[in-house]
Structure 1
C-alpha cells in the first residue's frame, strides 16, 4: 500500500511510492573497473516543497555480504512537471544530481501512467578534472511486489551505453510509524484478534 503524507507537496504526489528508506544489494560491472556486489541505502524524503530529495550510499561487499569499502554516494532532487504538449498532460521527471566523484548530472524522463515506474536519461553531464570519464546514462526505477528495483546504464567516451549497475531494495520499517500503529491498537491488544 502506498501512503501519501498529508504534507507532501501536490506536485510530487505521483512520487509518493518512492518515499522512505530502502536497503538492499546489487551488482556493479563496467569496463575498466572492478566487478563487484554492492550494498545500498537509498532515502527518498520530502520537506513540503515541490521536490523529493534523494540520497544514495553504496559500498562494495565481500563474499559473505560484509562491507569492504565505500563505492559511490549520490545526492539529488527530483521534480515532476506536466508536459502540456502530450496527450492528457504527461508527467515528466526532472532530476539534478551530484556524485562524490565530482560528476554533476541533469536527468529528464517520464513517470509511466498507471504503474510506479520511472525512466530517466541524462541531458547534461559536467565533471571536475579528476572525475572518471563519463558521457551519459539512463536509469529505470520500478516498484515490483513492494520492492524498489532499479537498473542504471552508463556510457563513457570509449564505452557505448550499457547496463552497469542494478539493485533490489526493500523498504526499511520506520520505528516512529510502528509506534503510531501500536498506539492505534485496542487497549487490551486482544480485541485486535477477535
Structure 2
C-alpha cells in the first residue's frame, strides 16, 4: 500500500511510491574492466559480495532527497535470489560502508514523454564522485542514466552509469551498473519499507495535490 501525504507537493507526486525508508540486502560485484590493458579478460577475477542496503527518500521543498547506503558484510553467508528480504537482512552483519550517496531529484514535464515524467538528479558520494543523471519515471518504475561525472584525484573515474528501480509486491527492487575507467561495479537488491517518510512542512499555496491529474491523466 502506498501512503500519500495530504500535503505532498505536486512536483514530486509521481514518485510517491519511493517515499520513506527502505532496508534490504543485495549482491554486488566489482570486476576489473576488460578494457584494462593489465587484465587478461579470460581470467578476470570477479569479486562477488553480499551487502546490506538502505534507501531513504524524503520530500525537500519541490524535490526528492534520496540517500542510498551500501554496507559490506561478513564472509561465509550463503543466500540466493529466493531468500526473503528479512531472512537475508537477519543473516548479514554490517562491517563497513561500501559507499553512500545523497541525490536530489527534480521532476520536469517533457513534451516528448507525455505518458511519464522526466527526472534530473544531482548526486554526491563518499567515494569522491559527483554526478548528474537524467531519466524517466512511469508508474512505479524509474530509470536513470549518467549524464556527467567528476571526481577527486583519489577516486575512480566514472564513465557510465545506470540505475533502475521498480516496485513489486510492496517491495522495492533495484539494479545498478557503474563503469569506471578500469573496473565495473554492479549492484542488485530487494528492499522492504521500514518507515514512512518524515512529515512534510505544510505548503502555503493551497492543496498540494491539486492538479495531480496532469501527471496521471485522471
Alignment TM-score > 0.5, same fold: yes
2:175 pairs with 1:151: yes
**Other-structure match for 1:29:** 29
- Conserved? CA contact 1:151–1:163, under 8 Å: no
Aligned match of 1:98: 124
Q: TM-score, normalised by structure 2?
A: 0.72
> After TM superposition, where is structure 1 displaced by more than 6 Å over at least 4 residues in a row?
none
1:43 partnered with 2:56: yes
Are residue 128 (structure 1) and residue 152 (structure 2) matched?
yes
Deviation per residue, 1:39-78 (Å, 9 max, x gap): 011110114x110111112211122411121111110111
Matched, 1:139 2:199: no
The count of corresponding residues between Structure 1 and Structure 2 is 170
Tell which has more relative contact order, 1 or 2 (C-alpha 8 A, sep 6+): 2
Matches within 5 A, 1:51-90: 51-62=63-74, 63=77, 64-84=91-111, 86=112, 88=114, 90=116
Partner residue of 2:134 out of 108, 111, 118: 108
Q: TM-score, normalized by length of structure 1?
A: 0.81
Q: Structure 1 stretches of 5 or more lacking a match?
A: 178-194
Matched position secondary structure for 1:36: strand
Deviation at 1:35, TM superposition (A): 2.5
